[in-house]
Structure 1
């Protein structure tokens, strides 16, 4: 039987009602290239719900989102800029903890990458969109259309001997860049997998008590059929869901 990955949903307003939503591109990329089944996780419930869910899942994937992680969750007293999604914050952070404790894989994309960092004691910075403070612009101009936002790209250098370098068989990738926030202080136990040319951490990995973690700041779920390097992220997910070691000793995927 195929393994089952839980994919976190976000709170969205549909008409006048609240809805729990996941963009189809995440589900499609995970199930096609990870060769797995998916269950969508509603962003409601606390730690008890997270414990119950973690027992029923083979792994967890945390998606990107228009919302930002609340600054107070990583010790920042400033309010920051929304939108925020407290329900998602509560469920995602609890699930990362319970899945890691259970030794099950956790993969993150964009916001999900940031959530993993926060759970492991890391912090975020919020000044990355417009090319300031020594950083390149990590987001297209606000006037850019939705599709064109994903045409905003830059290069990342992969860590020699890292999981991504080994799986992609490359030392550099061109990745899309659609984020205003990113890693400031790296969370405990995380290994850098990729950096942008301005030094910003763009990917990390870890093996914590047997739980395999992999996160990327970019969006591999965006048109992966056109990008074999993006497919690698989800192939690694599929391998981890099956209990395979995704460490750098494995051959190119």
Structure 2
């Protein structure tokens, strides 16, 4: 059987500060290819090259990746401030309706960092512009200095709901994860189930209630060392299995 195709949502960049480009992180590509056992297909963060229906017909599942720009607060009914940082409204215009369409149809999705936040916003939730400014919260941002190994190092525990989908998938109620985000969930969407929390109460793992397919998303970056990390590997393996089932005409629900 041919491997399923996973659409990896890319990000917009300027090469040499002047040449517009679309790209996806190599870590995401390798995690999809090697751990999910799927063909990685980079999707531009732009709604104009292809329609939602065309993308869903081409891909068997979608990986909603991290990225420096944040979801524009107008998407959840708030005004932008300096604390909200940079935006990419083209990516918003692509991913938010794509997430809703996939959830409705049962097509597998996996959200990482910004992608985790996109899933919440797409399903009617809102975001805090800066977690570290909230009373009692920790600084979840990427360390400003150091090697990639130091930036992606494990930094805090995540505690899953006992008996929930993440607990069952990981075989543990508590795991260690990296942390490289500034924003986070303020209000969970009506169907968004928060299934994992950091020690300071920040939402770290979610799924969509009553969705017919795979909808797990995490606030951390499991693409780092996904082939050997005991938390990342089962997540990408389960996503790949759901994509294979979708390609074969079946649904795999993890919830």
Q: Secondary structure at the match of 1:242?
A: helix
How far apart are the structure 1 equivalents of 2:211 and 2:154? Answer: 37
RMSD: 2.0
Correspondence for 1:206:
208
Q: TM-score, normalised by structure 1?
A: 0.90
Structure 1 residues not aligned, in runs of 5+: 249-253
Q: Structure 2 vs 1, CA of residues 246 and 31 (structure 1 numbering), >3 Å: closer, same or farther?
A: farther
> Contact between 2:193 and 2:209, CA under 8 Å: does it hold in 1?
no
How far apart are the structure 2 equivalents of 1:213 and 1:231? Answer: 16
Alignment of 1:11-160 (within 5 A): 11-15=12-16, 16-45=18-47, 49-79=51-81, 80-129=83-132, 132-144=134-146, 146-151=148-153, 153-160=155-162
> Contact between 1:139 and 1:149, CA under 8 Å: does it hold in 2?
no
Correspondence for 2:11:
10
More displaced, 149-158 or 9-18? 149-158
* Residues 34-69 of structure 1, C-alpha deviations (whole Å, 9 max, x = no match): 111121111222597112211222111100111111
Q: Structure 2 vs 1, CA of residues 146 and 84 (structure 1 numbering), >3 Å: closer, same or farther?
A: farther
Alignment of 1:238-249 (within 5 A): 238-243=240-245, 245-247=252-254
Q: TM-score, normalised by structure 2?
A: 0.89
Correspondence for 1:251:
none
Q: Secondary structure at the match of 1:72?
A: helix
Structure 2 residues not aligned, in runs of 5+: 246-250
Q: Structure 2 vs 1, CA of residues 238 and 127 (structure 1 numbering), >3 Å: closer, same or farther?
A: same
Correspondence for 1:231:
233
Correspondence for 2:248:
none
> Contact between 1:109 and 1:218, CA under 8 Å: does it hold in 2?
yes
How far apart are the structure 2 equivalents of 1:140 and 1:6? Answer: 26
Q: Secondary structure at the match of 1:93?
A: helix
How far apart are the structure 2 equivalents of 1:46 and 1:70? Answer: 19
Q: Are 1:176 and 2:178 matched, yes or no?
A: yes
